Chains A and B, each alone.
Chain A
Amino acid sequence: MSESVQKFKPATNSKNRVLKHLSDLDYSVVQQCMHCGMCLPVCPTYLETRVERNSPRGRIALMRAAIDGEIEITREFGEEMYYCLGCLACMTACPAGVDYATLIEETRAEVEAQDVVFSPGRRFWRWLTLRQMFSRPWALHWVGRSLWLYQVSGLCSLVRKSGLLRLLPKGLRDLEPSTPIICRHFSDELIQELEAPTKKKYRVGMLTGCVQDLVFSDINRDTVDVLLENGCEVVTPHAQGCCGSLHSHNGDLEQAAIQARRIIDRFDLESLDAIITNAAGCGSHLKHFSPLLKNDPDYADKAHEWDRKVKDISEWLVEIDFRKPQNHPATTQKATYHEACHLVHGQKISAQPRAILAALPGYEWVELTRATHCCGSAGIYNITQPEQAGKLQQEKVGNIEKTGASIVATANPGCLLQIQNGAGKGLRVCHPVSLLAEAYRAEAAEA
């Protein structure tokens, strides 16, 4: 990127804290920000407050001041970095190509290393989720199975009626109604480790995800069906676990690297034409294992190869010129498309899902106002920052209502949950690949 890459010596601030992550950062990445302000009109947090520090260029100014040793890494600093949704809309708007994704991840890692946003509760939840639940596939399955039992056994409605929820702290109590409905069957029960098409043209790996696996295993099944329909042999290793996206976005780069190695090991890279993901948030992270593993001699090359082969399902389908379904629906339904941040901004994938949707018979596609604006899900943001997340959710649902659509398609589990929770049951929220799978099935039924 730059001809004069400068690395700054570890800055020491007044409390003699040595920066652990920001000091390793290539300084020209921060310097690349021209503070032109083009990120302001697309940043959800700036638009909410109109205060500079809540904007990408404001946060970069704080990062730079910290690297230059002008300010300390304080609690305020840390909280600001977590107020950011990480929607990356700023990266689409940025004329100078600033790598904000790396900056915010490294800065959050620094905030964690300095331990400035400390509270016993936060520490416990981080340990439980990042280091336990989302680092072990069996642990997550166990949690998922328990939740499923809670929901189907009637215990859930009993607990809600009993008022027992009042015993929970307010934050958790408010979240309980938005707990996702867990699927009866997880991906491993729905998908064989190897599934072959009638006529094989490609061989691809399939990533089942973690949240996707528990809550939307049907989308994983749909993805495999669509791949088979398009001549792809699908390899789906069981018990894959989290790819580390959650860890990386939340300042735990160490665990993210462990997860990355684990998931790479589950696939025989050389035998595959592509590795398919259908969750935008994961895809955006899965394509960037190289920087995470650059200092690991055993994995650096593999990570490079991995990054090259990871494709979002829509990206892959358009690349192989997917077969257009020829079903004949009796009616036409009004539908709209919400662009998941980590697909449109994180991976610059916008035309491909739209191409898939446009190829489906029986839909009238209405453009959604501010389709590329975050819905407030943003990974675990709706849990950590419920107020701001709620505002964005309302705005998104309001815009969807204005289209008059009865279906909204979006390609990320977080968005699917967030929009469904905001809109209620009257609106069908689904993944584009599910609509394609349905069309293929309808076609087969007609034949």
Chain B
Amino acid sequence: MCALFKIERRDDFSETVARLSEIVGADHVLTRIEDVVPYGFDATAALKTGAPCVVLPHTVEEVSAVMRFCREAKLPVVTRGSGTGLSGGSIPVPGGIVLCLVHLNKILEVDSENLTLLAECGAITKAIDEAAHPSGLFYPPDPGSMSISTIGGNVANNSGGLRGLKYGVTRDYVMGMEVVLPDGEITWLGSKCVKDVAGYSMKDLFVGSEGTLGIITKVLLKLVPRPKARRTLLATFDSMESAAASVSKIVAQHIVPCTLEFLDRKTCESVEAYAHVGLPTGVSAVVLMETDGHPAVVEEEAVQMAAIAEECGAVSVERAKDDAHAIRLATARRSAFSALARVRPTTILEDVTVPRNRLVDIVSFVEEVGKRHNLQVATFGHFGDGNVHPTILTDEKDEDEMSRVDEALSEIFDKTIELGGTVTGEHGVGLAKKPYLKRQFDKSSYALMRKIKRTLDPDGLLNPGKIFDLED
């Protein structure tokens, strides 16, 4: 039937579809080629496969029943939210089903006494922060795709964002969750208690598990008081070293900015060409700094940060006078990805992370690797937490260039590990980083992961082949 597009279907496919239709309703089981092709990818570049069947449940009971059926039929299950992942984690598995949870999207409770929020897994990240806002509360993790990413996907990938230095990442806000286990059991992990040491912290096992251990269906999140004021600064430097020096000095002065974002030379050039934000020519680094909190403290910190940047030889320092000015200053950073994405047809975005004090080393290494392999590479990212985004601008149809991309990436990962870093700071391993994970892990920790996977999911049905393979 689908001779053109390669989709593996098992012999019992029609029976499978019938059984799944009984559970979620025939309208919510997609099998037509035009319906399933758009589920063959997520936001990762150059990764695409075929999903024979997409199932869209509306309740946790349906999720559980689907899982029970899949276990009985030995059918692999790939859980998916809005498909904005950047490591290929929700790419379908041959022969298996895609379980898309976007319809479980209710925000169930905002508890302003305990500062928590309970939501279904398909709730949109931005909607969660918006729901917290009227109570004067704040959900800080802000991954780039927050306007459409689902909270379940954020938890499963332990997503980061721009506020990592001061506010941490998704894991720091997960207090509890409801999980459907590979046998279909529905289980609750964690509680609303700030202190809770009853048993293993099992919720933490599922944070960042990328859909390989269970299906997260509800999440209990911690909220914090919404900061009352924010000040924004933009500093430009003629070298990455002087930018790094000022960042180190700011942190050494015990100022913890909520945002410390940088752009390298190549990114600055692209941003200027695309958005004409008025960056001085010949600038090698732009740093966007933001501090939030009590109005008086924020004001004082902004003055201090500007002074430090000037001391460290900033070419220019601009302090936002009002909200509109702040937005204008943030434009350069916000347009970074857009500007780069327009340069070439394929944009490969990486997220290697190193200890903060090694950031300059990795940025200059990336620049050098790009030159050596004759590739266009730009880097931007989060100065405060050492998480950088080397971005390779290429064309997936050009085989020769793509093989040079692979070599360059491999070198970048090796260097990252050598500097004591990690191959992924916020995107997850999925398929894209799987080959490099082994280099980072020692033998026994790698073996431990496999042991955990085999124990929880003995049939290997949940997102098989992601993060690592069960056998060498």
Which A positions have Cβ atoms within 8 angstroms of B?
1-4, 6, 13-14, 27-28, 31-32, 34-38, 40-41, 50-53, 55, 57-59, 61-62, 65, 69-72, 74, 76-77, 80, 95-97
Other than the given A3-B344, A31-B396, 15 more pairs (CB < 8 A) read A4-B345, A13-B4, A35-B42, A35-B43, A50-B103, A51-B56, A52-B39, A53-B35, A53-B37, A58-B38, A69-B4, A70-B4, A74-B33, A95-B337, A95-B341
Q: Which residues of A contact B124 (CB under 8 A)?
A: 41
- Mask: chain B, 27-63; 1 = CB below 8 Å from A; 0 = not: 0001011110111111101000000000010000000
| Chain B residue nearest in CB terms to A43 | B148
Contact at B342–A1, with CB atoms within 8 Å? yes
Residues of A within 8 A of B342 (CB): 1, 32, 96-97
Alpha-carbon gap, A13 to B3, bound state (A): 10
CB-based contact B43/A65 at 8 Å = no
CB nearest neighbor in B for A39: B148
A34 in contact with B43 (CB, 8 Å): yes
A403 to chain B, nearest CB (A): 20
The answer to the question of B291 belonging to the interface, with a C-beta cut-off of 8 Å to chain A, is no
Q: Which residue of B lies closest to A36 (CB)?
A: B43
Complex-state Cα separation, A52 to B90, whole angstroms: 14
Instruction: Given A71-B5, A95-B337, answer yes or no on A53-B346 (Cβ-Cβ < 8 Å).
Output: no
With a cutoff of 8 Å between Cβ atoms, the chain B residues found around residue A3 in the complex are 344
By Cβ-Cβ distance, the 9 closest A-B pairs, closest first, are A58-B38, A52-B38, A31-B345, A96-B341, A95-B338, A37-B84, A76-B34, A70-B5, A36-B43
Which of A1, A28, A34 has a CB less than 8 Å from the CB of B45? A34
How close is A247's CB to chain B, nearest CB, in angstroms?
26
B14 contacts chain A at the CB level, 8 A cutoff: no
Partner of B397, one of A6, A61, A71, A74: A6
Question: Looking at chain B's contact residues, is the secondary structure mostly helix, strand, loop, or mixed?
Answer: loop
With a CB–CB cut-off of 8 A, which chain A residues contact B147?
38, 41
- Please tell me if the beta carbons of A52 and B5 are within 8 angstroms of each other in the complex: no
Residues of A within 8 A of B102 (CB): 50
- What is the CA–CA distance of A87 and B233 in the complex, to the nearest angstrom? 36
Say yes or no: B341 contacts A34, CB within 8 Å: yes
Query: Are A4 and B395 within 8 A (Cβ)?
Result: yes
B145 CB-CB contact with A under 8 Å: yes
**Pairwise interchain contact B148-A96, C-beta atoms closer than 8 A:** no
Flag if A34 contacts B83 (CB, 8 Å).
no
| Contact A38 B148, beta carbon cutoff 8 Å | yes
From B41, B149, B395, contact of A35 by CB (8 A): B41
A38: B residues at CB distance < 8 A = 145, 147-148
Is the beta-carbon distance between B103 and A65 smaller than 8 angstroms? no
- Taking the nearest CB of chain A, how far is it from the CB of B428, in angstroms? 15
Contact, CB under 8 Å: B344 / A2: yes
Within the assembled complex, what's the spacing in Å between the Cα atoms of A50 and B35?
12
* A107 CB, min distance to chain B CBs, angstroms: 13
A234 to chain B, nearest CB (A): 34
Q: Is the CB of A96 within 8 A of B347?
A: yes
Task: Please provide the chain B residues from 144 to 186 with a CB less than 8 Å away from any CB of chain A in the complex.
Answer: 145, 147-149
Using Cβ atoms and an 8 Å threshold, which residues of chain B touch A74? Answer: 33-34
* Residues on A with beta carbons closer than 8 Å to the beta carbon of B34: 53, 62, 71, 74, 76-77, 80
B82 interface residue per 8 A CB criterion: yes
Taking the closest CB of chain B, its distance from the CB of A331, in whole angstroms, is 31
Q: Which residues of the other chain, B, contact A59 by a CB distance below 8 angstroms?
A: 38
Would you call A40 and B338 a contact (CB within 8 A)? no
Assembled-state Cα–Cα distance A57/B37 (Å): 11
Per a CB cutoff under 8 Å, which of A2, A57, A96 touches B38?
A57
C-alpha gap A34/B343 in the complex (Å): 12
Contact assessment for A36 and B395 in the assembled complex, using a CB-CB cutoff below 8 Å: no
CA distance A31 to B48 in the complex (A): 13
Q: With A and B bound together, what is the CA distance between A6 and B342 in angstroms?
A: 16
A4-B345, A31-B346, A37-B84 as given contacts; A71 in contact with B103, CB under 8 Å? no
* Contact of A28 with B82 at beta-carbon distance under 8 Å, contacts A6-B397, A95-B337 already known: no
On chain A, the residues within 8 Å of B396 by CB distance are 31
The answer to whether B145 and A28 have CB atoms under 8 Å apart is: no
Query: A8's closest neighbor in chain B, by CB?
Result: B397
- Interfacial chain B residues near A58, Cβ < 8 Å: 38
Q: A76 near B347 (CB under 8 angstroms)? A: no
Do residues B345 and A40 form an inter-chain contact, with CB atoms below 8 A? no
Interface assignment of B469: CB less than 8 Å from any CB of chain A? no
**B3, B124, B147, B398 — most chain A CB neighbours (10 Å):** B147
Docked pose: A349 CA to B41 CA in angstroms: 34
Closest chain B CB from A69 CB (angstroms) = 7
Given known pairs A13-B4, A40-B148, A69-B4, the reply for A61 and B38 (CB within 8 Å) is yes
A93 CA to B41 CA in the complex, in Å?
20
CB-defined contacts of B37 to chain A, threshold 8 Å: 53, 61-62, 65, 70-71
A61:B40 contact, CB within 8 angstroms: yes
Contact of A37 among B35, B45, B145 (CB under 8 A): B145
* Contact among B4, B82, B145 for A72, CB-based, below 8 A: B4
- A14 and B3 contact, CB distance less than 8 A: yes
| Bound-state Cα–Cα, A28 to B41, Å | 18
Q: How far is the CB of B102 from chain A (nearest CB, A)?
A: 5
Please provide the chain B residues from 319 to 367 with a CB less than 8 Å away from any CB of chain A in the complex. 337-338, 341-342, 344-347
Question: Complex formed: what's the CA distance from A2 to B347 in Å?
Answer: 12
User: Cβ of B346 and Cβ of A36 under 8 Å apart?
Assistant: no
Across the interface, name the chain A residue whose C-beta is closest to B334.
Answer: A95
CA distance A95 to B338 in the complex (A): 4
B62-85: CB near A (< 8 Å → 1, else 0) gives: 000000000000000000001110
Closest CB-CB distance, A60 to chain B, in whole Å? 9
A373 CB to closest chain B CB, in angstroms? Answer: 14
Bitwise interface map of B from 88 to 116 toward A, beta carbon under 8 Å scored 1, else 0 = 00000000000000110000000000000
With the chains together, A27 CA to B398 CA distance in Å? Answer: 13
The answer for the CA separation of A57 and B148 in the assembled complex, in Å, is 13
B351 CB, nearest partner CB in chain A, Å: 14
Q: Which residues of chain B have C-beta atoms less than 8 A from A72's C-beta?
A: 4
Minimal beta-carbon separation of B392 from chain A (angstroms) = 13
Q: How far is the CB of B231 from chain A (nearest CB, A)?
A: 26
- Within 8 Å CB of B56, what residues of A? 50-51
Nearest A residue (CB) for B393:
A3
Residue of A nearest to B342 (CB): A97
Across the interface, which residues of A come within 8 angstroms of B145, CB to CB?
A: 36-38
* A31-B39 contact, Cβ under 8 Å, with A37-B82, A53-B34, A97-B342: no
Q: Which residues from chain B contact A31 at a C-beta distance below 8 Å?
A: 345-346, 395-397
Nearest CB in chain B to that of A31: its residue: B345
**How distant is the Cα of A34 from the Cα of B338 in the complex, in angstroms?**
11
Question: In the assembly, what is the distance between CA of A417 and CA of B53, in Å?
Answer: 42
Q: Which of A74, A96, A97 has the most CB of B within 10 A?
A: A96
Closest A residue to B81 using CB positions: A37
B83 A37 Cβ-Cβ under 8 A: yes
CA distance A69 to B3 in the complex (A): 11
Residues on B with beta carbons closer than 8 Å to the beta carbon of A96: 338, 341-342, 347
Residues of A within 8 A of B84 (CB): 36-37
Tell me the complex Cα distance, A76–B337, Å. Answer: 34
Chain B residues closer than 8 Å to A40, beta-carbon distance: 82, 148
A4 to B401, CA, bound (A): 12
Shortest Cβ distance from A52 into B: residue: B38
Task: Give B128 Cβ to nearest chain A Cβ, in Å.
Answer: 14
In the complex, which residues of chain B have a beta carbon less than 8 angstroms from the beta carbon of A32?
341-342, 345
- Distance A405 CA – B224 CA, assembled complex (angstroms): 37
In the bound complex, do residue A4 and residue B398 qualify as a contact, i.e. CB atoms below 8 Å apart? yes
